[in-house]
Structure 1
């Protein structure tokens, strides 16, 4: 702790007497400054014990009051007046003004040189700094040993909480609470979800400080809380929160910074290990999708404890077209974020999961070049499990991603499920939807599954001769064709719908054939004309 006015006064070798402000002697002294100026405030930073002989102070009550007010407003923690030179005793108006402002006023006797007070405070400040360095070094050693031990992140959090005399909590990159110490602080740590979520949207490292009843931290607890994101490449790998009864001291700040550095290194090291596991998991997933389930099962037994069991689903995620991020926000909507959330959900639930990234390319069959697509994420997860739910929740929560989900299937049919998920993703991207399941692809109309621009161009070109005829000649050929097709070629029913004789309708259909150069007896022609007519209704 820094020296206070009380500790300076208690130094018997200085022979100081408190004349005013005795209730404020616990203020820390950051420096001792001597000045005979009437207004020394331009040369002060706040926190000083100011010493003066009062040569230029004068004796008028007004000038002495103004002097005290200037010092108090500048953050001076105490005033020492040396007697015996310009003042035989401390002027009473000065004592009264100091008492009014709550500014401690010390009488410095003539035998006590100002330099002695400066030396005493300097020695105390040096001792404080030495103690801070020693304590910080000891804490860093202790935290480092904890980080290198078993379950290092949890150990660091527990040691940090003990060092600060408060509580500490660690959150994963999704904002979920993973470690808290002591156990009783879990309720307080959970209340920081909104603050952690705000930091998730900012590049790491970032921090926030708040007190118990600050906006957004609805609790009766009067903790002083600091939340810090953990990450080395602008992406938060986790978040650390600490709560203390009082504001953390500079020494405690060193301890906190050491914990942040160790946790960041631990998380980054864990990330590298996870990357290696991800590469092995991606290779296993490719084996499964290629139908080599037996081989994949043998390999997975030794590396991952086996493949997902029971009914599975394949999920394929891709970036939605035109997705934009708010300026200054971290990339929370991309495939990396989705993969991390899926893995965290699987880890918490104890579910097996296989994940692989597919680079941007062109999708085709039998070696033929197909439709271009961007980078995608492929996941094989337990049907209806935590990973499945987490992926659905992630794409619904954040714009920027679309998800295709296969039908439930055994692991042996993962290749078929993968093809289903790809088709479902294509429908989601084309229709501007967040997620589409395979069950939805085969339900409802065919039109939503087709590219809008392609269908519109096809319909406009096919029906153009009929529409040009209707604008310049008698007979509504487009309406007549729609009625005839909707009645499956039944002349009487279609004519009744139009309110014309069936011979009139027959004449119009022959005219349609002539203008289009196609036979209405051809089933494919009827289908194409019906799609063209329906596309104009969508």
Structure 2
């Protein structure tokens, strides 16, 4: 079995240390050939090069650990290069190049000192292992730095979006942030707020990313109070998979807070009516007033629902039948099919409703009031205590 630290290798290590300055200079010259390394200060390059010499010498002397005067690790060096904007593959390529240079110097020195071939082979393997191990560490540190950069960028992006939509940014911040994220002051964008089942938590944001992007603008997407919020360059689309997306716009960046308030209002109305898919002012229309005009809703409920509710347990069946009748465009046969009852049953319930409320469903004005009252009643049934 070969000794881990042959005495002959110590002699090579001593010879390399005597040429330390020349080896440092040779390494600096080699890495300057790699893209981006011309931007790195010379003292930083020389420090890394000196550390490489010390590590090779330490391996040849039987200890892969650096001396106390060179405590900075290759992981930290990789992190520094990431901060200096040099790609990971370039960093690894430069590191392997200078380690190759040092291996060549080792072989040349070993030949001059007539070191036994078996010792040279042993040391060469050690140096290759050293190169591979620290190349891996360089990549690992670079990946960690990239992850941190991405996380920080996403956090900054989310914070900017939240403040942009809630109107808490100063005009100068809107301008600077807009440039950073591709917002054009005079262009118009869509503002959205959506809600989704928990199992589809990220499906809605991915749909917004896909459907709202253009070649010049990547959608700003984030979260506020558990809802997906977004600014998109195109009117977005959404799958009817349980998600509801309220959209407002298009508006310039200065109008984002108002548009966000509108999207929030529309989303609340859509949620009350258990709507799915894309909703806006047009699709919700008068339902917005049903939710928001509380006093009018109370008056219509008292006139067109309370007399029926006072009759007891079957009141809900009668009101549901009338509501379905209106939804079926006042076709009795369609209403019977929708409720899975006989047409005479529908006729009886409609007559009972007219008897209790005095409502004439052939009168247009009365028809609108009844519809409003029954939509308000349905909302209360869905959210008891509202």
Bigger RCO (CA 8 Å, 6+ sep): 2
The interval holding the TM-score normalised by the smaller chain is 0.3 to 0.5
Between structures 1 and 2, the one with greater strand share:
1
TM-score, structure 2 length as denominator?
0.43
Question: Of the two, which has the highest radius of gyration?
Answer: 1
Between structures 1 and 2, the one with greater helix share:
2
